[in-house]
Structures are given as C-alpha cells and as structure tokens.
Amino acid sequence: MKVVLASSEAVPFAKTGGLADVAAALPKALGAAGHDVWLVLPYYRQLSGPLESTIHPTDVEFPIELGSKSVQARVFRSSLPETDVPVLLIDQPDYFDRPGLYQQDGHDYDDNCERFLFFSRSVLEAVARFEIRPDIVHANDWQTGIIPALLKIEYQETPEFSSTSSVFTIHNMAFQGSFWHWDMLLTGLDWKYFNWRQMEFFGNMNLLKTGIVFSDMVTTVSPTYAQEIQTPEFGCGLNGVLRGRGDSLVGILNGVDTAIWNPATDPHITENYDVNSYKTGKSVCKDHLQQAVSLPRRSDVPLFGMISRMTDQKGFDLIAGCAEDVLQEDLQFVFLGTGDSHYEEILKSLGDRYTDKVAAVIGFDEMLAHQIEASCDIYLMPSRFEPCGLNQMYSLAYGTVPLVHAVGGLADSVIDATTENIAAGHANGLSFNEYSPEQLAHQIRRAITLYHDESAWPQLVSTGMSRDWSWNQSATDYLAVYERALHSREAASQSL
C-alpha cells in the first residue's frame, strides 16, 4: 500500500508532544512491513541544525493561493533516520522559521490558521508533483484537518488522487484549530461548506471538525478514548459529530518505538537488562539515579517516578492534594518536567523540606527521562484525561509498574492488580477510577504494599515486560483502517 502521512511535527525533525512520536514511529513500522510510506512535514529550519546534512533541496516549488495572496512553497527532501522512509519538508521561512512551532512566550501565533492551511495545501501539491499517487493520505490533528476536505472537494477527480482515500487521526480533542469565520476565505473553499454539519462550530471555522467530517475514516489513539470523546465530558463540544461517524471512528492504541525505548539496548541507562535480568539491572540503575538526584541510596525503598508537563490534566492537582499525607510513608519520589509555576513551586518546596524523599528536577533532560524509566519501581500517571499516553507503556517495557487513573489509553494498557488478575497472571499495574487526592493516596499505599510482596510484585513486573509494546500490532490495525477507507471510497463512488 502507498501511504502519505501529513503531520505538523515528527521526531527527530520537530517535537512538542506525542504526535511527533507517532508521526515518526508509524511510518517506520509500515515501511518495515514493506509498504511505500512518505512523511510530509513543515521545514522548521531553527530545529533542523543537527539534521542539516541529511536535508537536501529539490527543484520542486510552487505557489499556494491563500485568499487574495500567493505564497511560494519550496520542497526539501530527507528520510527518517535508519530507514528508507522519505520525508518531504515544506519550506516557507516566513511561516516556519520561528522560535516555536505553534506559539511564542505562551501565546499562539496570530497567523496559525494561515500557516497550516498553507502547509496542508502544499502537502497535496507536493504529492502531486512527486507523482506518488497514494492509496491513503493520513492527516493528523487540526493542523492538517483541511486535507480530507480538499481531497473530497477539489482533488478527487484529478489523476494524482483519483484512487486516494483519507484517514484523519485525533491525538487530543482539546486542540481544535478554531478560528474566526473570515479565515474561511483563506481555505479557497466555497462558503457553502461553512455550515453546522461541516466546517462551522459556534460561529467559527473549526479545522478539527473539518477533518472529522470529511475523512473516509477517523481514528484516535486508544479504544477507550474513542468511546470517551463521544460523551459530553470528553468530547469538547464535538461529541455529537463524533457519534455521527458510527463505526468509522476507530481507536488504535499507540505503540513504543523500541529502537529508542528498550531497556536491553538503551544507551542512556547505567545497565541494560531484559525480563530475565531486570532484578539486577534495575537495582544498578536505581542506585545510580538515587545518587544522581541526591536521594539516599536505598534498595529497599519503593522509588516512584514521574516525567510530565506539570498541569492539572496530568494529575498534579491530585499530587498536590495528597503529597503531605503520603510523604509520611517510607518511599521516595523523583519528578522531571516543567509546567504551571504553581506546581513547579509546590514540588520544589517538597524537595527542600523532604530532602530524603523528594527530588524535583524542573526542566527536561532526555537522558534523565530514560534513567527514571529504568530506575524507578513505580511510575505515576494519574491523568485527569489521557488520549493514549506513552510513558505508561515505556514503564511497562522497562519493568516499572505504572499507577494510573483509568482513562483513555491508560485504561487500555494497564490491568489493575486485583487478587483475581494477579492469580490469572494478567495484572501489570495499578489503576483507579475515582479522581481524587484521597484515592491517589490510597493507591500509593497499595503500591507500597505490593512492592514488598515477594510473590505479587515480580509477576506485575514480568507481565508488563513480556508483552510486545512495539508498533507492530498498531501498524497492523492502521492497515486495516486504511483498507476500510479504500472500500468506503469505492462504495461511495459506485453509489453515485
């Protein structure tokens, strides 16, 4: 199958969140399975320094019409590292050579709508000029939400896209690309599409809704999240639109890029290990991490870790609400991340007052993130909502038992350590339903008890490490969605 994946970010070219991991790992997995996959990204020149030698100009350039003006696009070419997957980079310095991908100093760029409408149209023009003739164009999040509409309205009768179907993936409902109605002029589409069933949402043009409505298939990043977003609590106002997609809305759990996240080969950790050697390997890593973050070097104490944006969404309101209580227990915490200054200050204060129990590293350090995953006994992920989540899967692969709020992908990947699940050999972590500081405190104490259970704890660790968390299964599920999208397009054309 020939697939074009369009994304506003992908590692190692640019990253602000999980979209970047997915946009790199899925093409790798599809390419390894023998499919012809192309990735198209904006060319963020300021982020491409270390990759500059791998990025080459092409002779492909073209104008893109945006309302009353014409903007020139130029195409550069590269490939995903250690793969044959080609990457096309859309260059327009006025739009993409900026300090941040979407914002600066905490404020969105005023022309974000224009920037990504330009990018989306450039994706299709570049695909046409490279004569790729894809079976599937796979768009991701609001930044490329106009692509399925353009395919249906403008491009489906052209030779380059006559057999092309579209798939649209929602990575987070909270980010919708909602812009004032006059930006409809920038799309080049007829005003008739600005209606409540298609592109309009409470008077604005909504690009996430546009992608949902016009694509042949819609996916999101876990089966549970696919159900949650059809409810008022999680649907962010678009729950009715999503329910209208019926069974053409599918949840597929993300996978782990095992070339990067694998305790047996990870170059960032003190000692490599696998499911058969984790006791020794994790012990060495734990001792090194405790020393590195100035915690007492104790092998007998349960070490909890968390790598996260420090926000309410990630459960830091729960942590703040129960920290003083649980710190009366014999345990240690190590936190890594940045976020709301309120939570940063709380964690720094806890670190100052409980020097033997709390280490708070404000910032981000990729090597330290790997070391936390390898060294800790328990990983905290009490998110208020979590479309998929990756750290709980990293943790399972590294033998670090996750403690999670049972939402989204967390519910799909973590099986609670009930007596029945432990006896059946299915349990791999701890999960809870009631979102409250009291419940999190209870689960932390439960984790401490299990940690000291010499029968139950090894089973939790080995069950998590024994499952294949790679992209192999996820890629297979995406291929099934692609096939359904092709059949949907064929059926629609035959009914005309």
How many angstroms separate the CA atoms of 496 and 58, rounded? 40
The Cα 375–Cα 303 span in angstroms is 8
For the chain (496 residues), the mean pLDDT of every run of 10, in chain order, is 97 90 94 97 86 94 97 97 96 96 92 98 98 98 98 95 97 96 98 98 98 98 97 96 97 93 97 97 98 97 96 97 98 96 97 98 94 98 95 97 98 97 97 98 98 97 96 96 90 56
Q: Measured between alpha carbons, how far apart are the two ends of the chain, in Å?
A: 26
Task: Give the three-class secondary structure for 16.
Answer: coil
Q: Which residue has the tokens 């909270």?
A: 174
Q: Please answer whether residues 90 and 142 qualify as being in contact, where contact means their C-beta atoms are separated by less than 8 angstroms.
A: no
Number of C-beta neighbours around residue 130 at 10 A: 18
Query: If we measure between CA atoms, which residue out of 245, 220, 254, 224 comes closest to residue 488?
Result: 245
CA angle 78/84/90 to nearest 5° reads 25
pLDDT at 495: 47
**447, 430 in Cβ contact below 8 A?**
yes
Expressed in percent and rounded to 5, the helix, strand and coil fractions of the chain are 45, 20, 35
Position 277 scores a pLDDT of 98
Per-residue confidence (pLDDT) for residue 424, from 0 to 100: 95
Enumerate residues 6+ apart whose C-beta is below 8 A from 377.
282, 286, 302, 303, 304, 400, 401, 451
Q: What residues contact residue 34 under an 8 Å CB cut-off, 6+ apart?
A: none
151-170 burial, b for 16+ CB within 10 Å, e for fewer? Answer: bbeebbeeebbeebbbbbbb
Which secondary-structure segment (H or E) carries 485? helix 472-495
- CA dist 200 and 462 (Å) reads 50
Q: Encoding tokens for residue 283? A: 């012990």
Cβ proximity of 147 and 211 under 8 Å: yes
Range 25-28 contact pairs with CB under 8 angstroms and sequence separation of 24 or more: 25/254, 25/255, 25/256, 25/257, 25/471, 26/471, 26/474, 26/475, 26/478, 27/3, 27/80, 27/83, 27/85, 28/80, 28/83, 28/85, 28/257, 28/259, 28/471
How far is residue 176's CA from residue 16's CA, in Å, rounded to a whole number?
A: 16
Question: Before 42, cis peptide (omega within 30)?
Answer: no
Strand order in the sheet with 200-201: 178-179, 204-206, 200-201
Give the burial class of 208: count Cβ atoms within 10 A of its Cβ; 0-12 exposed, 13-18 middle, 19 or more buried. Answer: buried
Q: What local confidence, expressed as pLDDT, does residue 259 receive?
A: 87
Look at residue 18 in the predicted model and tell me its pLDDT: 85
Report the DSSP beta bridge partners of residue 218: 168, 249
Interatomic CA distance for residues 273 and 399, integer angstroms? 10
Residue 32, CA distances (Å) to 62, 84, 207, 472, 484 in order: 32, 9, 32, 9, 21
Pair of tokens at residue 155: 């491009």
| Measured distance CA(37)–CA(26) in Å, rounded | 9
Distance, in Å, from the CA atom of 389 to the CA atom of 381, rounded to the nearest integer, reads 9
Packing angle, helices 366-375 and 278-292, rounded to 10: 130
